[in-house]
A = this chain, B = another copy of it.
């Protein structure tokens, strides 16, 4: 979960996720969208993979990346908890 937040803190990685939202892409197709060297993109992809935000699958010469939404949903749960009723779970706010 901490890995996910760390991974999401980089704008390049967030953009990669947005690209993968449209469709699955190979490492090369992803790299083509950025002015960043392929090894650097590979590194970003690895960080996203560690955080379980993406999955990869070799398809012949290519490696196809796809979104893994389950961790993203977890992260969203964190926000929901944060936005929920102020003070929930501790103080007694009943009227």
Interface of A is mostly: helix
The interface on chain A, measured as residues whose beta carbon lies within 8 A of the other chain's beta carbons, has a size of 29
Residues A30-45 near B (CB distance < 8 A): none
Point out the residues of chain B lying under 8 angstroms from A11, CB to CB: 2, 5
Pick from B18, B76, B78, B83: contact of A69, CB below 8 A. B83
Point out the residues of chain B lying under 8 angstroms from A86, CB to CB: 21, 67
Q: Is the pair A79, B87 in contact by a Cβ cutoff of 8 Å? A: no
Bound complex: CA A17 to CA B83 (Å): 11
**A59 sits at the interface (CB 8 A):** no
Bound complex: CA A90 to CA B18 (Å): 12
Q: Is the pair B69, A22 in contact by a Cβ cutoff of 8 Å? A: no
